[in-house]
Amino acid sequence: MSTHHIKLTLNGETKEADVPARLLLVHLIREVFNLTGTHIGCDTTSCGACTVILNGRPVKACTVLAVQADGAAVQTVEGLAQGGQLHPIQEGFHQCHGLQCGFCTPGMLLTSAAFLAEHPNPSDDEIRWAISGNLCRCTGYMNIVKAVQYAAEKMRAASAQPAAAD
């Protein structure tokens, strides 16, 4: 089996590793880089617990080879908070009780964050559609949708501020 030297950006930091061809991206993140916020649920591309943002788009890291991330930008849940400040989506899940056990939460957060970056003013239906590849087995989706709306509102307010200051 071939081994490959890869270089990627993980949460803004440059990382390098030698990986066997069959290593999955989720194992690279969890076991080589020790970031265990990315979960493994089904391991069969169904649940979205392993979601990471790969070059701007949320994908299931249990179904991507680590070597495919060579040259890519990867973001995990550990990269959401900045300078000790929770990302608005994290704050939303906290405020609206968007989680119980928390197993699906990193994936939900990343899918929602990527979605909100492109849809600042979503309807509830659009949110449900966007998170339809992420399964939650205990909270139910009502509060998750509320949490995403909370974040959307907060992000809209934040982006309106500089304009108002003009």
Partner 1 sequence: MIPPAFDYAAPTSLSDALALLSQNPEAKVLAGGHSLIPALKFRMASPALLVDINKVAGLAYLREAGGWLAIGAMTREADLDRSALVREKYPLLADTARMIADPLVRNLATIGGNLAHADPANDHPATMLAYRAEVTAQGPAGARTIPIADFFTGPFTTSLAANEILTEIRLPARRAGDGGCYLKIERKVGDYATAAVAVQINVNAAGVCTSAGLALTNLGLTAIRCAAAEAALVGQPLDEAAIKAAAQRAAQAAEPVSDYRGSEAYKRSLVTTLTVRALRTALERARR
Ligand X SMILES: Cc1cc2nc3c(=O)[nH]c(=O)nc-3n(C[C@H](O)[C@H](O)[C@H](O)COP(=O)(O)OP(=O)(O)OC[C@H]3O[C@@H](n4cnc5c(N)ncnc54)[C@H](O)[C@@H]3O)c2cc1C
- Applying CB under 6 A, does 121 fall inside the site for ligand X? no
Query: What is the radius of gyration, based on Cα positions, of the chain?
Result: 16
Which stretch in 1-9, 75-83, 88-96, 138-146 sits in contact with partner 1 by CB under 8 A? Answer: 1-9
The residue (of 65 and 73) whose beta carbon lies closer to partner 1 is 65
The smaller minimum CB distance to ligand FES, of residues 29 and 47, is found at 47
CA 69, chain centre distance (Å): 16
Binder to partner 1 among 41, 58, 106, 122 (CB under 8 A)?
58
Is 77 in contact with 110 (CB distance < 8 Å)? yes
Determine, following the binding rule CB under 6 A, whether residue 45 of this chain makes contact with ligand X: yes
Nearest to 56 by CA among 14, 102, 9: 9
Residue closer to partner 1, measured from CB, 86 or 120: 120
d(CA 47, CA 44): 8
Residue numbers at the binding site for ligand X (CB under 6 A) = 45-46
Give the residues lining the site for partner 1 (CB under 8 A).
Answer: 1-2, 4, 20-22, 24, 43-46, 48, 51, 54, 57-60, 63-65, 67-68, 70, 111, 129-130, 132-134
